[in-house]
Amino acid sequence: MSLHMNQFTAMSGLRYDKQSQTYWGSPSGYPVFVTVQPRRDSVIFRLIGKLRDESNHTAMQGAVTEFTASHTGISGMIYENRCLACAVSLTPRDTESALLMRIEELLQFAMEMGLVPCCMSCGTESGYRSYLLDDGGVTVCDNCKPYVESKMQEALEEKAAVQTNWFGIIIGALAGAVCVFLLSYFILQLSYLSFLTGVAGVLVGFALMKKLGRKVTIPAAILCGVLCLIAGMAAPVFETAKEIHSYNMDNQVAAQRIVTSYEELSDALSDMSEEEIKAVEEYTGESLDLAPMKSKYEDAKTILDHISYDACLKDLGKMIDMDLYNDVKGELIKCILILALSVVIGTLLIAPGVLKADSGVHTLRELTL
């Protein structure tokens, strides 16, 4: 569903932060953050509160599991570091009222478990304010803010000290490119093309670069994107060469027959005078002019010269410009454009998050009216 901002804020009493697409406020006294997940038909719910008795943490985990199992649309619910968080799924038919009802159920659960609104860092019950830490809702009191900022600086310095392992980066980028190629080629074998193959390969590449390379930088992201782009564009080229090879194999016998007939007739005509040729034409009533047959002869020669797959791949650029194979040219261009676009979009979607995480840069922004 698509939330109507004005309508939902009026119904829920929450405020809306456009930059992070987060609704926030203090319904029933609890600091609550509801972040919209674009294109996922879901929101992330966060509520900040501490247990009055920390020894009840085990019972709290059991209650979280039971609540998740008994409420549809609630998933991934956890309680840790004084934060109750979960994903709330929405169907296209759900309205703002449906989301508000789920939020009220979560608030009721927090009250039943005895959660107390507090600073997420130290647990103090007063003097805290609402912030977004990397677009995730938190509460921080004035005493804890310098500590939180110092931890952010430490994270930045730690990430800056990490050196990129370029061998691991290259392996990860190559693995992503291979994944793009194999997925695309396999899908094309089924006479189908999925926009997700490029995105999936890029995702694999970035995941492996992050794991093997320790730190993903802008040059590493560009390397992965370029290799995946090349692989995505190569897959339909190899598939088209395979289709032409299959066509040539199927028409090999017919092509050989045309070539043999043409060359035999050409040899025979070369030994005849013009008077003899005219006499034969008058006798048979058929023209012995080779010109009308030449086009078919050249097509047949092309087929016979490209019986092997390697030959088809090598001369593909010339072959798709011939009338004989011109039908595959449009399909090849379409496939290349779709796969190239999927890789580019996948890179643009995945790279910023990975680069930000590996840069160590964190932001703390106070939510105000």
pLDDT, tens only, 140-155: 999 999 988 888 888 7
pLDDT, tens only, 334-352: 889 999 999 999 999 999 8
pTM (predicted TM-score):
0.64
Above 90 in pLDDT, residue 302?
no
Residue 285 has a pLDDT of 62
Secondary structure string (H, E, C) spanning the chain: CCCCHHHHHHHHCCEEECCCCEEEECHHHCCEEEEEECCCCEEEEEEECEECCHHHHHHHHHHHHHHHHHCCCEEEEEEECCEEEEEEECCCCCCHHHHHHHHHHHHHHHHHCCEECCCCCCCCCCCEEEEEECCEEEEEECCCHHHHHHHHHHHHHHHHHCCCCHHHHHHHHHHHHHHHHHHHHHHHHCCCCCCHHHHHHHHHHHHHHHHHCCCCCHHHHHHHHHHHHHHHHHHHHHHHHHHHHHHHHHCHHHHHHHHHHHHHHHHHHHCCCHHHHHHHHHHHCCCCCCHHHHHHHHHHHHHHHCCCHHHHHHCHHHHCCCHHHHHHHHHHHHHHHHHHHHHHHHHHHHHHHHHHHHHCCCCEEECCC
Span 323-333, average pLDDT: 83
Domains, in order of start, for the chain: 5-143 (3.30.1460.10), 159-361 (no CATH)
pLDDT bracket for residue 369 (50, 70, 90): low
Span 218-223, average pLDDT: 93
pLDDT bracket for residue 156 (50, 70, 90): confident
Above 80 in pLDDT, residue 47?
yes
Above 60 in pLDDT, residue 295?
yes
Residue 279 has a pLDDT of 67
Span 234-239, average pLDDT: 92
More confident call, 48 vs 281: 48
pLDDT bracket for residue 280 (50, 70, 90): low
Above 60 in pLDDT, residue 1?
no
Residue 164 has a pLDDT of 84
Q: Give the mean pLDDT of the chain.
A: 86
